[in-house]
Structure 1
Amino acid sequence: MKKVTFYLALFILSLASVPLQAQEDSTKVEVKIERLEKEKQKIISEEKEALKKEVEKINQRLDNKEIGWEEAERLKSEAAKKHALNIENRVAIIDNQISLLKREEEEVTWSWDEDDDSNEDEDKWYHKSHYSRTSTHLVVAAGFNNALEDGQSPNDSDFKIGGSRFFEIGLAWRTRVFDESNWLRLRYGFSFQFNGLKPTDNRYYVENGDMTELVEYPLDLDKSKFRMDNLVFPVHFEFGPSKKLETERSVWYSTKDQFKLGIGGYAGFSLGARQKLKYEEGGENVKKKLKDDYNTNDFIYGLSSYIGWGGTALYVKYDLNTIFKDPNPELHNISVGLRFDVN
């Protein structure tokens, strides 16, 4: 009898220890996940700082005339792609570790639940599933660019409509706002914007004190291009349906081949302004590259929106800040093009 009582006590104690052990294991997992989330932010900061230094080195080589304008732009574009992919790949490794921890937690996170609707006198175990709410995407956009004063139409613009273009590349995270629905998502990240303007009537920009003015060049220009480079941090609310996909152990939402609408804005700072002139003089082709402050605003902010299907969308952005500081005319940059989300 004493032996039976002893083994029964051991059995009861072992049952009592199950929720305590599960709670301890769950706490350990949460600590590990929190540490990994901090590691993700550290990775993003490291890659952004590395890209900034790399762009500075390229600009220095350009200023020293070690490389040309086209080569500098190619190197900066490659650098931006490299570090964006570095972030995506390094973060993906962390996300996989987090997913693994959550799956391991599922195996020990069980709850005791009594089935009140059953006439049978028995209990059952049920499982609490977990799944990721955030995904990472490479964002690339390109299209037509222009600059307008308030109330001015594109037909009255000082810049060529077809010749002025923009390019944007960056990294974006998409997070589901609600636990059990994916119709509303928050998109946020960082992007490098390259906004180009080609003046009409053989003109180029000249800085005269606080004023920056378009003046006619004394020779016939084959090309006149003014470009502004920015680093911005966009935030959008994205709306649209998605497909809910489930297995026994996971649940996720897919927006492939689905309508989407994004509304939001961006803020950041200018990385500099440049001009490129091409003309013929004395029977020789001349390329002139000019870099100056041009009285451009350092702080960049604006509104942006996109509408599309799957990974492709029509994209519009408008700078609320003026291109040039007071007392220059209030000129605002505007862009229209296509935006691509690469998983």
Structure 2
Amino acid sequence: MKKLIILIGLLSYHVAEAKYESDTTIIEFNDKTSNTKVKVIENSNKTIELPKILNLNNILKAVGVDSSEREKAIVLVTKGANGSKSDTVLVVSQEGSRIKIVTRERAVAVQDTTIRETQIEKEERIESFEEEDEDGNYENYQNPKPKKEKKFFPRSDFAIYFGINNFVNGTPAQPNMQYNLRDFRSRYVALSFRKNATLVKGDKVDLAFSYGPEIAWYNFMLENSNLAVYDGKQVSFVDNTKPTQKSKLVMPYINLPLMLNLGFKEDKFKLGFGGYVGYRVGGYSKEKYVSGGKNKVKGDFGFNDVIYGLTTEFGKRNGLTFFMRYDLNKLFKDNQVYAKDLQAFSVGLRL
């Protein structure tokens, strides 16, 4: 075994056109426990008192690495990535709480206690001491660029809303009361194009304002063989003279939701609340008969041209999000007798 070599040097490099400036303490020794040449690089100005017995555990403890990280380092240095032993470089963070172990084929040339290297070798050595980040990119430990913390909410996103909808507060006049819907077949679908503006970026919680257009469809599936009929003035829900497989009333809207969203970083949970306003851009009824054939009638069926309401969303950051919407205004115009006071609500998932 080669004679124990201890080298502590203070190096400075000026940063200008690929040059570097940093205070670095380098400790190089042969670790008897692993029979491996080890180089410890510590980026701080603090004075390190070396222990009398030099091994990896004592050196890391001296530079301020906590016990759990020391155990990880010792295991990795002893076993290596593939079980083999080779020269190993340990890069210790300034906080002393995180270390990075990088195996290199070439170590710094050392003779006695003095590093002898040319300017080219020095530049190559600086380039070789690179630290790999979580995304597979590299940073030079001598001049690390501060990592920007990612925002909880992306600047923009696209989503599909899929859920069920229904009526509430209906008080239609007799005898036209066949407005009941099929609970799990009446669908709400929307395509959302959203922008997220982060207002507050905190250590634990981000606050963002979200806005953007969407196109949404109310698909009101009528119960049994009921049919929506519109004579130009009044909409009524009556029994169909032909048995139907399905009968529905469809109303598309262009909506503009406005929401405040909270992003809880530790739990990776998001919560949003706000409102929306929409404008109707069409409408039709459609029946599919048991005996075959279809019938489609276009019209507004007495629906209000403008809707507005409240909305809320909650879920995991990169997982499923639940939503609920409730129209505050009446779905049909005030002059409608057989669909008086009906309001719509929707619940489902934002995908």
Could you state the TM-score of these two structures normalised by the residue count of structure 1? Answer: 0.52
Asked if residue 308 in structure 1 is aligned to residue 315 in structure 2, the reply is: yes
CA separation in 1, counterparts of 2:290 and 2:170?
Answer: 36
Given candidates 224, 232, 236, the residue that maps to 1:201 is 224
Give deviations 1:186-221, integer Å, cap 9, x for gaps: 111111111101111311111134321101110111
SS at match of 1:197: strand
Aligned to 1:264: 274
Asked if residue 169 in structure 1 is aligned to residue 152 in structure 2, the reply is: no
Query: What RMSD in Å do the two structures reach over aligned CA positions?
Result: 2.7
Give deviations 1:230-251, integer Å, cap 9, x for gaps: 10011111113126xxxxxxxx
Give deviations 1:97-124, integer Å, cap 9, x for gaps: xxxxxxxxxxxxxxxxxxxxxxxxxxxx
> Structure 1 262/160 Cα, relative in aligned 2: closer, same or farther at 3 Å?
same
SS at match of 1:272: coil
Q: Is the 8 A contact 1:212 1:324 kept in 2?
A: no
Task: Tell me which amino acid in the other structure corresponds to 1:204.
Answer: L
Distance apart, 1:183 and its partner CA: 2.4
CA separation in 2, counterparts of 1:159 and 1:140?
Answer: 23
Give the stretch that moved more between structures: 129-138 or 230-239. 129-138
- Structure number with the bigger relative contact order (C-alpha 8 A, sep ≥ 6) is 1
SS at match of 2:293: strand
Aligned to 2:155: 135
Within a 5 Å distance, the mapping from 1:1-343 to structure 2 comes to: 135-149=155-169, 158-178=180-200, 180=202, 182-242=205-265, 258-281=268-291, 285-311=292-318, 312-328=320-336, 329-340=340-351
> Structure 1 148/268 Cα, relative in aligned 2: closer, same or farther at 3 Å?
same
> Structure 1 150/307 Cα, relative in aligned 2: closer, same or farther at 3 Å?
farther
CA separation in 1, counterparts of 2:190 and 2:223?
Answer: 24
- Which consecutive segments of 4 or more residues in structure 1 shift more than 3 A? 127-134, 179-182
> Structure 1 280/128 Cα, relative in aligned 2: closer, same or farther at 3 Å?
closer
CA separation in 1, counterparts of 2:345 and 2:202?
Answer: 37
Q: Is the 8 A contact 2:171 2:342 kept in 1?
A: no
Q: Which structure has the larger Rg over C-alpha atoms? A: 2
CA separation in 1, counterparts of 2:179 and 2:240?
Answer: 19
Q: Is the 8 A contact 2:171 2:341 kept in 1?
A: no
Identical pairs, percent? 28
Q: Number of aligned pairs?
A: 195
> Structure 1 277/130 Cα, relative in aligned 2: closer, same or farther at 3 Å?
same
Task: Tell me which amino acid in the other structure corresponds to 2:199.
Answer: V
> Structure 1 290/151 Cα, relative in aligned 2: closer, same or farther at 3 Å?
closer
Aligned to 2:92: none
Structure 2: 5+ residue stretches without partners: 1-144, 173-177
Could you state the TM-score of these two structures normalised by the residue count of structure 2? Answer: 0.51
CA separation in 2, counterparts of 1:280 and 1:259?
Answer: 47
Give the stretch that moved more between structures: 178-187 or 231-240. 178-187
